[in-house]
């Protein structure tokens, strides 16, 4: 899965900022399983697939799984390419599928774009996982194919994407913060797309 390292989000996923008590804060989507791990996992998974027919069945299964409705909708919303030449259409479809792996909403939790206290960089985000049911930690770290992981993760099981800004100026994921004066709620993709 050779991809540009800067694979952009879907147009309908773009959010710039949210308003917190009159203060504008830039919003980012934080990956539970990092983009680097997704690329590595998908490359390994693709090597194990015997032919294009099996690959097609696996990807169709991924997109048609009810747990992936959000990513399927994002892909469909970006498909109006009927007037383009065939090579351009195939290239765009391939990029859309890769976006569907990298930016699957099941694997995203909204939060601040900068000043994050425990940024995992290119590793599994243990800070976000600790507020999901324990089976997600097992799922994210066990050796299984990446399509299954992305389908079974459910970031929506985190009730609110709440971050606490501490005295050091850094944000920490804290759904049950005891100090509401330093708490910031970030809208999920589902919430921000309805406004």
pLDDT tens string 62-100? 989 998 888 888 888 877 655 566 677 777 777 888 888
Of the pLDDT bands very low, low, confident and very high (cuts 50, 70, 90), residue 118 is very high
Q: Are 83 and 46 in contact (CB under 8 A)?
A: no
Residue of 111, 30, 107, 100 lying closest to 71 (CA atoms): 100
More confident of the two residues 193 and 14: 14
Residues 6+ apart with CB under 8 A from 168: 117
Quote the DSSP letter at residue 83: T
Of the pLDDT bands very low, low, confident and very high (cuts 50, 70, 90), residue 190 is low
C-alpha–C-alpha distance, residues 108 and 126, integer Å: 13
Predicted pLDDT at 186: 75
Sign of dihedral through CA atoms 168, 174, 178, 183? positive
Q: Are 159 and 175 in contact (CB under 8 A)?
A: yes
């Amino acid at each position: 899965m050779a991809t540009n390292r800067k694979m952009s989000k879907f147009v309908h996923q773009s959010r710039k900022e949210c308003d917190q008590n009159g203060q504008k804060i830039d919003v980012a989507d934080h990956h539970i399983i990092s983009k680097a791990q997704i690329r590595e996992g998908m490359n390994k998974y693709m090597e194990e697939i015997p032919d294009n027919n099996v690959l097609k069945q696996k990807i169709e299964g991924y997109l048609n799984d009810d747990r992936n409705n959000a990513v399927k909708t994002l892909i469909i919303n970006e498909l109006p390419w009927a007037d383009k030449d065939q090579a351009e259409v195939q290239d765009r479809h391939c990029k859309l599928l890769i976006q569907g792996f990298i930016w699957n909403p099941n694997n995203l939790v909204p939060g601040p774009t900068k000043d994050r206290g425990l940024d995992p960089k290119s590793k599994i985000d243990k800070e976000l996982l600790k507020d999901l049911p324990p089976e997600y930690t097992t799922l994210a770290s066990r050796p299984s194919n990446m399509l299954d992981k992305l389908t079974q993760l459910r970031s929506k099981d985190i009730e609110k994407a709440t971050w606490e800004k501490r005295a050091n100026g850094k944000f920490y994921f804290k759904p049950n913060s005891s100090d509401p004066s330093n708490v910031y709620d970030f809208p999920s993709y589902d919430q921000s797309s309805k406004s």
